[in-house]
Amino acid sequence: MESTISKTIKKTTKIITQPNLNSFIGVFNSKKRSVNKGMAPGSLVFIGNRKMEEPKISIIDYTNEHFEEKQIEKHDISELVSFKESNTVSWINIDGLHETELIGQIGEMFGIHPLLQEDILNTAQRAKFEDFEEYLFITLKMLSINRGNKHLSSEQISFVVHKNFVLTFQEKEGDVFNAVRERIRTKRGKLRNVGNDYLAYALLDTIVDNYIYLLEYLGEHIADLEMQLLKRPSESLLTKINTHKQELHFIAKAVRPVKEMIKDLIRAESPIIHKKTTPYLKDLLDIATQSIETIESFREILSDYLNIYHTNLSTKLNEIMKVLTVFSAIFIPLTFIAGIYGMNFQHMPELDKEWGYPAVLVTMFLVALCMLAFLKFRKWF
């Protein structure tokens, strides 16, 4: 007998043991600004986790006719100067932020404000746009999900958009911009015919589109939860709901400032952004808005799931208690009757009668029947 009870109780104490909730807190804590406590503003300190061996600098320089692509070693960064004044579209991409001196040198070479250099290195920075007249500074988060352990991760990507060049800074080497690179190489789309501003847009578009894809992926998982909730609610389901809530919170925190950022970018009406590029930026704004609305929808759905889960618990408690009460209501009076005739009084006339025992049995049966009929009538079952 103990074994089944043991199982019942085991379940009681098992509640929520998958350590899955901590994505947000974890991410927040892994990127500590406090490492540069007490330093002068503008001091370059990399805030984050080193995600690759060696920084990588790559250049793509093109016009409609011309195309050049190359890697530059970090001791040859003086080569970059030539792209600063060229009239071609020049895209300089730096992967890896942990070598702060390198970022400092590039920053100085291209005349980037020290505070922006700090922002590039501070991967806990929230998405923002700043207009420095000569160039525009944009920073935002690239979100991705590890299809293995299903952990969300975010990477900070910063843009410096100048009339003559686009600088991009990534935490680690990745394939996020490969589609754009391929479109430039193969002259697909209009990229080769337009300027640095459209290049910046195309890159931003890659990142912002990705929010929608991520939410679609998440949406599938949430829909799965629903099926489980309808079938067999369990504690692990509760944990999953809470994990998804945290993930959505994490995504919202990245995406919400992106919307503001794009709005600011459009409103700035910088001469660096051609008038023809504005509709594309507005399209970007639409996607960001839609992402935020979808996040809100998902959060509301998850919160509905939690409510359903709780109502389930209450309904079950009611039913458990009904079973207990039905059992007690039927057997307690019967046991009492048996108790009466178990008393040892010498003068209990019923005990001597031959019909005594069957009469009591019949009485018991009738009492039980009445009880059942009564509960039935009251719609307890």
Nearer to a copy of itself, 148 or 339 (CB): 339
| Short-list 206, 194, 204, CA closest to 272 | 194
Q: Helices (H), strands (E): how many in the chain?
A: 11, 7
Structural contact between residues 198 and 190, judged by C-beta atoms closer than 8 angstroms: yes
Asked whether 166 and 199 are in contact (CB, 8 A), the reply is yes
Q: What is the dihedral of CA 169, 172, 175, 180, to 10 degrees?
A: 0
Residue 80 or 121: which CB sits closer to a copy of itself?
A: 121
Q: How far is the CB of 53 from a copy of itself (least distance, A)?
A: 27
Q: What are the residues whose beta carbons fall under 8 Å from the beta carbon of 260, sequence distance 6 or more?
A: 127, 128
Between 164 and 206, CB nearer to a copy of itself: 206
Query: Please, what is the minimum distance in Å from the beta carbon of residue 169 to a copy of itself?
Result: 17
Tell me whether residue 159 or residue 280 sits nearer to a copy of itself (CB atom).
Answer: 280
Between 86 and 307, whose beta carbon lies closer to a copy of itself? 307
Q: How far is the CB of 78 from a copy of itself (least distance, A)?
A: 26
Cβ at position 290, least distance to a copy of itself in Å: 5
* C-alpha span between 278 and 299 (Å, rounded): 32
Segment holding 128, helix H or strand E: strand 128-131
* Closest C-alpha to 48, from 59, 69, 33, 60: 33
Q: Which is nearer to a copy of itself, 96 or 192 (CB)?
A: 192
- The backbone region for 48, taken as left when phi is positive above 0, alpha when psi lies in -120 to 50, beta otherwise, is left
Of 81 and 338, nearer to a copy of itself (C-beta) is: 338
Q: Extract the tokens encoding 68.
A: 């050049």
Residue pointed to by tokens 């359903």: 308
User: Is residue 132 a contact partner of residue 56, using CB atoms and an 8 Å limit?
Assistant: no
Contacts of 9 (CB under 8 A, 6+ apart): none
Report, in Å, the least distance between residue 199 CB and a copy of itself.
12
Q: How far is the CB of 25 from a copy of itself (least distance, A)?
A: 4
- Taking the complex as a whole, the smallest distance from the CB of residue 95 to a copy of itself amounts, in Å, to 19
